[in-house]
Amino acid sequence: MDEDGRATMLTEKIVTARIQHKCCECGVDIVSGDKYFKEVGVYEESFLRYKTCMDCVSIRDAFFCDGWIWTTMWDSIKDHVYQSNGLISESCLADLTSIARGKICELIEHHWKETS
């Protein structure tokens, strides 16, 4: 753990799956041949291993400049959509993969339907 209470990362890299994994954020299957972001670290003397699909990585990169907590990204995004009343800047959406953009737009549309 670093002085800010964050995990100490040992490796962070994009790799190609040889076997099937689950994305730690959205739970989608990462199948053999897919690229994903692999993170290994240590926090309070425990090893951390996270595998994140590239769509969720694009969302983290666009929306979480100050960091995030693994496995809670979608809850945080839903809160952000609610707090911003679904008004998300086009520049954030432009940086997403097409699948990630579609998921964020679905959240926005769902929010608008609930609040109208």
Task: Give the residue from 113, 116, 87, 21 showing the smallest Cα distance to 104.
Answer: 87
User: Which two three-digit tokens encode residue 83?
Assistant: 């707090």
Domains of the chain in start order, with CATH, are 8-115 (3.30.1740)
Whole-prediction pTM:
0.86
Residue 95, class by beta-carbon neighbours within 10 Å (0-12 exposed, 13-18 middle, 19+ buried)?
Answer: middle
Residue range 41-99, pLDDT digits in tens? 898 888 999 999 999 999 999 999 888 888 999 999 999 999 999 898 888 899 899 99
* Spacing of C-alpha 83 from chain mean position: 19
Ordered DSSP codes for 32-44: TT-EEEEEEEEET
Tally the residues of the chain.
116
- CA distance to 37, 96, 99, per residue, from 11 (Å): 10, 24, 26
3 pLDDT band (50/70/90 cuts)?
Answer: low
